[in-house]
Amino acid sequence: MSPTTSDLVAGIDSSTGATKVELVDLASGAVVGQARSPHAPTTPPVSEQDPQDWWRALVDCFEQLQEHLPAIRALSISGQQHGMVTLDADNVPVRPAKLWNDTTSAPQSTELIERVGATAWATSTGSIPGPAFTVTKLAWLAENEPDSLELVRRVGLPHDYLSFRLTGRWTTDRGDASGTGYWSPTSGEYLPDLVQAAGVRPAWIEFPEVLSPFEAVGVVTAPELLALGVGHDVVVGPGSGDNMCAALGLGVRPGDVVVSLGTSGTAYAVSEQPTNDESGFVAGFADATGRYLPLVCTLNATKVTESIRGLLNVSYEEFDELALSAPQGSNGLTLVPYFDGERTPNRPDATGALVGLRTSVERSDMARAGFEGVTCGLLDGVDALTTSGVVADGRFFLIGGGSKSAAFASIFASLSERDILLPASDETVARGAAVQAGCVLTGQEPDHLAAAWSLDQSRLVTPPDSVAVSASVVRDRYRTEANFR
């Protein structure tokens, strides 16, 4: 179709902390409206939410945007990856959804890797199933709540549940499916033997149909949204995981690297070829376009710097200023940021450490050490991507809430020794979902739509001309201390 000036698409980001909706003009890419509705906070190792609360938050966002709803022509949903949603025969959640950052399935993760073998996992799914993966949560359910498992008839991911509530159709996409641990990005098929290895009989469970990239799920049929003014003919895209949608929202091409700084951190790249890292460092995900999205995820990112900011009792601006007033290397202070255990490397019981304290330590050293510790951990993730064969010589994007920090931007540029791009949009995940909705509606390629919407507008941060301590020294010191945890 040819968009008119009144046509809108909606991108929905259902994250751990909140549901966010961004309404975008289909012709120009201009943001017409935004809404946000928070979710109940969670604290690992037990991190669970009621899927029905996500739906209520989504409806609340649409209520906030009610005046624009008649102009919406298509929408898509991005959701937090991995989380396990279990529905009974009446499509009611059997129990709260276990989220990606719930680490209670760490014992089941270890058992599954030992039972099937790391090589077999990597070959079959492209990934080693750490505690974040849905298959380990299924194994936890089978072992700890067998009565609940008896009631389960459908298992899916957060975005699958919301798409189901919108359309009545049980579907997913290849990007989100690749994070379950029982679907193959290379064959495009579910792997019943791996479900059975988790102690679940596959015949009991209906898993979502995996749609092709940019294939419509259907149209909105949810009474709650129709009553608010959403049209009966609004097309619903296949949706995807949050990192997959962020890549769409950035217009990421093969060779580009993205680091996302949220409560947790991710480093990923778009690749033409699948990866299968037997070490488990790199997860071999699919993306939302038909390509692949090898990714490294850490549990600890801005939660670490936020904890240190709280200890220093300073504002965000003062925290940045403190960190940037200290020299690179933090005068010998090194922070290992495993505050809540760690996913990559897989150390669920690890704790953080502050090493190199002397009586001469200053508040600025501690502030900078926090930023440097998080940065070093994620740059190790970027190195792991290239070790796995991923080409990462293109643009380097820094996104997420932490990218607003001047200290993070400067320290990433300095320690990576690369130019860093800070996108103009604050909501790259919701924007990516909107891109997908636009492509489903119009048949355009995502690169063409991204160009039409000027998604490549970014601010450049360059490495400093000189530093007190070289990036290699800072990073080597970090690796030495991290290896002891």
Distance CA 288, CA 279 (A): 25
Which residues are within 8 A (CB) of 173 and not within 5 positions of it... i.e. 6 or more apart?
210, 211, 213, 238, 239, 240, 244, 288
What's the full length of the chain, in residues? 485
What is the maximal distance between C-alpha atoms in the chain? 68
The token pair at 128 is: 């080693």
Q: Which two tokens stand for residue 159?
A: 């975005």
User: CA 417, 403, 271, 256 torsion: positive or negative?
Assistant: negative
Q: Does 242 qualify as catalytic in the annotation?
A: yes
Q: Alpha-carbon dihedral of residues 28, 241, 409, 42, nearest 10 degrees?
A: 120
Catalytic residue among 25, 160, 173, 242: 242
The b/e string for 186-207 (b: 16+ C-beta within 10 A; e otherwise) is beeebbeebbebbbbebeebeb
Measured distance CA(480)–CA(272) in Å, rounded: 34
How many CA atoms lie within 13 Å of 430's alpha carbon, on the beta-carbon side?
A: 26
Helix (H, G, I), strand (E, B) or coil at 283: strand
Please state, in angstroms and as integers, the Cα–Cα distance from residue 280 to each residue in 108, 164, 258, 344, 345, following that order.
15, 32, 19, 8, 8
Of 5, 29, 10, 76, give the one whose Cα is nearest residue 423: 29
Contact 448, 302 (CB under 8 A): no
Residues labelled catalytic: 242
